[in-house]
Amino acid sequence: MSNEIINRVANSKLVTFDLEDFYPDGKRVLFDIKDWLLEGLVLREKDFREYVKNYNWSQHQNQYVALTCSTDAIVPAWAYMLLVVNLEPFVEKAVIGTLDDLETSIYQDIINKIDVDSFKNKPIIIKGCANKPVPVNAYTMLIKKLKPVAKSLMYGEACSSVPLFKR
């Protein structure tokens, strides 16, 4: 009788998927346009265009930008479009919304590009503990992407996973 310890997890066909591995480096910035509005509430086109013209857009090189207005101003769509026209040559991504919206959009792009063929008929565990800000929405998008091909889906760590789906 052998007292050898066998790591059954390492020898299993279980595939671990860690969304944190896909986290792209780059500064995240919340770009609030309230200061470009009259009293933080009224967008005056001439003034707004002057701010856009004089702003140093290159400072956002390789950044991820969430465009927002933190006041109750009604901001026309063209204003955000004008900002994106100027940001686009420099940023990795720009969205309208919060930093959480930005992270969700980043992960949506990442998950859409994942080739799931290598996961066909395999038991998959989606790692849960992240040190990077992986949005909860990313996990739901990943489930939708993996469920049609996976044999089973679990969440957590191999030693204490939560079963989610089994074919």
- CB within 8 A of 111, min separation 6: which ones? 138, 141, 142, 145
Q: Please check the confidence at residue 108 and state whether its pLDDT lies above 80.
A: yes
Output the pLDDT for position 99. 96
Output the pLDDT for position 160. 82
Output the pLDDT for position 10. 47
pLDDT band at residue 97, thresholds of 50, 70 and 90?
very high
Distances (CA, A) of 46 to 37, 51, 69, 123, 142: 11, 9, 18, 58, 44
Residue pLDDT, tens place only, 26-70: 999 999 999 999 998 999 999 999 999 999 999 999 999 999 999
The amino acid sitting at 23 is Y
Output the pLDDT for position 109. 97
The structural domains of the chain, with segments of one domain joined by +, span: 8-24+117-166, 28-91
Output the pLDDT for position 2. 61
Output the pLDDT for position 133. 87
Burial class (CB in 10 A: 0-12, 13-18, 19+), 151: middle
Output the pLDDT for position 11. 45
Supply the mean pLDDT for the chain. 92
Q: What is the pTM of this model?
A: 0.85
Q: Please check the confidence at residue 8 and state whether its pLDDT lies above 60.
A: no
E strand residue ranges, 19-82:
28-32, 64-68
Give the 3-state secondary structure of residue 112: helix
pLDDT band at residue 7, thresholds of 50, 70 and 90?
very low
Give the angle subtended at the CA of 164 by the CAs of 141 and 108, to the nearest 5°.
5
Residue pLDDT, tens place only, 139-150: 999 999 999 999
Output the pLDDT for position 1. 56
